Amino acid sequence: MAAFWTYVRQMLRNRATVAWAFVFALISASGLGVGLLTLGPMLRLILRGDSLDQLARQFNEKEPWIRVPDEIIARLPPERFDGVVLIIFVIAVLTVLGGAANFMHQYLSQMLATKTIARIRQDTYRHVLHLPLSRVIARGPSEFVARIVRDAAELQRGFIAVTSKAVTQVLKGLAAFTAAMVFDWRLTLSAAVVAPLLLIVLRKLGKRIRRGTRGSLEAQEGLLRIATETLHGLRAVKANTGERHAARWFHRLNKAVVKQELRVRTARALTGPVVETLAVLIIGSLAIVAAKHIIAGNLPFERFVLTLGSLAVAGASFRPLAGLVNEMHAAAAPAERLDEILSQPREAAGALRLPNLSRHSKTIEFANVSFTYPGSDRPAVDRLTLTIAHGERLALVGPNGSGKTTLISLLPRLLEPDSGRVLIDGTDISTVNLTSLRRQFGVVTQETVLFRGSVAENIGFGAAAPSREQIIDAARRAHAEDFVLELPNGYDTDLAEQGASLSGGQRQRLAIARAILRDPSILILDEATSQIDAESEAQINAALAEFCQGRTALLIAHRLSTVLNADRIVVMDGGRIIAEGSHEELLEDCDLYRRLTKTQLVAAG
């Protein structure tokens, strides 16, 4: 429960709201307590024949510390019926005031819980964005999405249980318990001795609920993952008639969710009967004790009724606490899971204290660099050394799995090398501010990432407040303006999720426009022209050739035209460089390159 209460304390940041919520809860509970205490005088009016002014004077004689002012006593009605009407009117007023105070408490408490959860959700999402890429890939995006959305929602239920319900019920229960103590403290304390037993039972059931909730959330992660993967890849599922396989996977994970949820429900279902059984035992024991004292003449019957009634109200107020305690234990599981994410170190930890990297103008160097993916038994990049001059256009070619994408991912520190160093202009990139490093790059990958939003918003994504003119200029230089202007609202056209409303070539050109807008010193093209039709390939390459002037360009080549336009070609295999040179030199000296030109590199047209 430690993680849960840590998050609960975050609500204390809004001190004024917390204070007012507690004040309104106290007013509501006080109204209940005073209302119960007024029942004593009313019963005495009805059963004994005393008047209100007589009861007030008798009270002043017994209580030296608290007195009813004589002016008020003089205004009390002398008739018994009028006294009963006045007491009922006071109870009605207290009920209305208590209801209004309770509404304000509920409103402020739920607002407090909602705003705190929104802040936790925002903090968690921001933290995940700054986690190392390798860690997010290893655990899967669906796990983080589930925790940010689902776990935060479960945690909010625990917050509401604490702030909106538990505080109200505890204060009302204490008010009713106080009234019972005033009426007869001996009977009241006899009832209270069972409370520790109730707490022990609730604690044991709470542990089962916490474990079951954690298992349920983990199973739901798998459910979200398979649903996301199959629906995003629905084209492939249908093309391979894989609907039955996908449904079978979903069914298996869905059964796991049901199993864990039923485990939680069983513990929750036990809570009510246990509490009710203990309540019956308490009332039965009190009735036996009270009957003995009433028969002996030591306990007035009306006092017994008032004490029992007040205890019943206290019990009714405390009874929901069993369910609320269950809610808190259930919320402890998502709190622990969110805390696991927030405790992971960010990739930019301490980056603000590091110096900024000046704009690249000399060399890029990979010095004996190695990198192995977690769980792999061989390095993706193996003791590789390579120097690239500023302004050079370098093409990387090689079979699938040769380490090309891994190598260029080390440059903007999307991945961190296991050994060796990566240097820009002689500066180790691990010693500079991460943001200043990544601002040097414009990246276009084979899998274009577009977001829900307008064309202009997608082109300007990540740029520092670009103007409309800059966005249009970038689109024009990427040869994207012609198709953009044909869209229903031009640059203001909203794109479907992942840009599904555009062709592959159109999505690539928007990604190239986004890179151009950043005005990078280093341009990375990871098979960026692979989805562009042959007719427009020459235009795109001409635009890239113009844009690459004065910039260093690293190209993972898919098209032969890209290789031919490079200043130097590096051939990779097994994470190492096996050859480098011009197209003609490699055709003559490198067998692997000759095979690649025949099997993997696609010629224009």
pLDDT of 605 higher than 50: no
Phi, psi torsion values for 389, nearest 5 degrees: -80, 150
pLDDT average, residue stretch 335-347: 86
The position carrying tokens 């050109």 is 509
Instruction: Name the token pair of 149.
Output: 């959305």
pLDDT average, residue stretch 69-74: 71
State how beta strands 393-397 and 552-556 pair.
parallel
Q: In this structure, is residue 560 part of a structural domain? A: no
pLDDT tens by residue, 124-145: 888 888 888 878 877 778 888 8
Residue that terminates a domain, selected from 342, 369, 394? 342
pLDDT tens by residue, 463-507: 878 889 999 998 888 888 888 898 888 988 888 776 777 877 788
Q: In this structure, is residue 70 part of a structural domain? A: yes
pLDDT of 305 reads 72
Distance (Å) of CA 207 to CA 33, 282, 362, 492, 592: 34, 26, 61, 53, 61
153 within 8 A of 7, measured Cβ to Cβ: no
Find how far residue 463's CA is from the centre of its chain: 26
The position carrying tokens 């193996």 is 382
State how beta strands 552-556 and 568-573 pair.
unpaired
State how beta strands 453-454 and 494-495 pair.
antiparallel
Classify burial at 64, counting beta carbons within 10 Å of its beta carbon; exposed 0-12, middle 13-18, buried 19 or more: exposed
Instruction: Name the token pair of 501.
Output: 């409303």
Q: Which of 453, 442, 405, 465 is nearest to 524 (CA)?
A: 442
Task: Tell me the DSSP string of 162-173.
Answer: IIIIIHHHHHHH
317 within 8 A of 176, measured Cβ to Cβ: yes
Q: Which regions of 378-535 does DSSP assign to beta strands (E)?
A: 381-389, 393-397, 419-424, 427-428, 441-444, 453-454, 494-495, 522-526
Q: Are residues 462 and 318 part of one domain? A: no
Q: Are residues 103 and 251 part of one domain? A: yes
Of residues 176 and 64, the one with the higher pLDDT is 176
Total Cβ atoms within 10 A of residue 61? 9
33 within 8 A of 175, measured Cβ to Cβ: yes
Classify burial at 274, counting beta carbons within 10 Å of its beta carbon; exposed 0-12, middle 13-18, buried 19 or more: middle
pLDDT tens by residue, 223-281: 777 777 777 667 667 766 677 877 887 888 888 878 877 777 776 676 667 666 766 66
pLDDT of 444 reads 82
Residue that terminates a domain, selected from 285, 317, 342? 342
Rounded to the nearest 10°, the torsion over CA 304, 305, 306, 312 is 110
Q: In this structure, is residue 172 part of a structural domain? A: yes
360 within 8 A of 425, measured Cβ to Cβ: yes
C-alpha span between 597 and 519 (Å, rounded) = 32
Residue that terminates a domain, selected from 321, 342, 363? 342
326 within 8 A of 206, measured Cβ to Cβ: yes
488 within 8 A of 502, measured Cβ to Cβ: no
Q: What interhelical angle do 301-318 and 243-295 show, nearest 10?
A: 160
pLDDT of 568 reads 92
Q: How far apart are the first and last CA of the chain?
A: 65
Of residues 584 and 320, the one with the higher pLDDT is 584
pLDDT tens by residue, 316-326: 666 666 667 77
> Which helix (H) or strand (E) is 583 found in, with range?
helix 583-589
Q: In this structure, is residue 573 part of a structural domain? A: no
pLDDT of 547 reads 78
Instruction: Name the token pair of 482.
Output: 């012609």
Residues with Cβ within 8 Å of 344's Cβ and at least 6 positions away in sequence, in order, are 127, 131, 135
The position carrying tokens 């105070």 is 101
Q: Are residues 480 and 335 part of one domain? A: no
Q: Are residues 337 and 456 part of one domain? A: no
Of residues 385 and 144, the one with the higher pLDDT is 385
Q: What angle do CA 234, 235, 239 make, to 5 degrees?
A: 115
Highest-confidence segment of 148-162, 302-316, 340-354, 371-385: 371-385
Least confident of 151-160, 322-331, 343-352: 343-352
Phi, psi torsion values for 315, nearest 5 degrees: -65, -40
Task: Tell me the DSSP string of 550-568.
Answer: TSEEEEE--BHHHHHT-SE
Of residues 386 and 81, the one with the higher pLDDT is 386
pLDDT of 151 reads 86
Task: Tell me the DSSP string of 23-90.
Answer: HHHHHHHHHHHHHHHHHHHHHHHHHT---HHHHHHHHHHH-SSS---HHHHHHS-SSHHHHHHHHHHH
C-alpha span between 168 and 343 (Å, rounded) = 33
pLDDT of 152 higher than 60: yes
C-alpha span between 523 and 507 (Å, rounded) = 18
C-alpha span between 165 and 158 (Å, rounded) = 10
Helix (H, G, I), strand (E, B) or coil at 371: strand
C-alpha span between 413 and 130 (Å, rounded) = 12
pLDDT of 569 higher than 80: yes
Q: Are residues 192 and 326 part of one domain? A: yes
C-alpha span between 459 and 478 (Å, rounded) = 11
Of residues 583 and 217, the one with the higher pLDDT is 583
C-alpha span between 507 and 483 (Å, rounded) = 11
Question: What domain range includes position 228?
Answer: 2-342
Q: Are residues 38 and 170 part of one domain? A: yes
Highest-confidence segment of 287-301, 383-397, 534-548: 383-397
Q: Are residues 461 and 337 part of one domain? A: no
21 within 8 A of 112, measured Cβ to Cβ: yes
C-alpha span between 396 and 568 (Å, rounded) = 9
Q: Are residues 334 and 477 part of one domain? A: no
Q: In this structure, is residue 67 part of a structural domain? A: yes
Q: In this structure, is residue 88 part of a structural domain? A: yes
For the chain, the average pLDDT equals 79
pLDDT average, residue stretch 168-193: 73
pLDDT of 453 reads 83
C-alpha span between 399 and 365 (Å, rounded) = 23
Total number of domains in the chain: 2
Instruction: Name the token pair of 214.
Output: 């954690």
Helix (H, G, I), strand (E, B) or coil at 131: coil
In the chain, the largest separation of any two C-alpha atoms, in whole Å, equals 121
Q: In this structure, is residue 347 part of a structural domain? A: no
Q: In this structure, is residue 174 part of a structural domain? A: yes
Q: Are residues 460 and 335 part of one domain? A: no
Q: Are residues 308 and 455 part of one domain? A: no
The domain spanning residue 468 has which CATH number? 3.40.50.300
Instruction: Name the token pair of 37.
Output: 């205490």
pLDDT of 604 reads 47
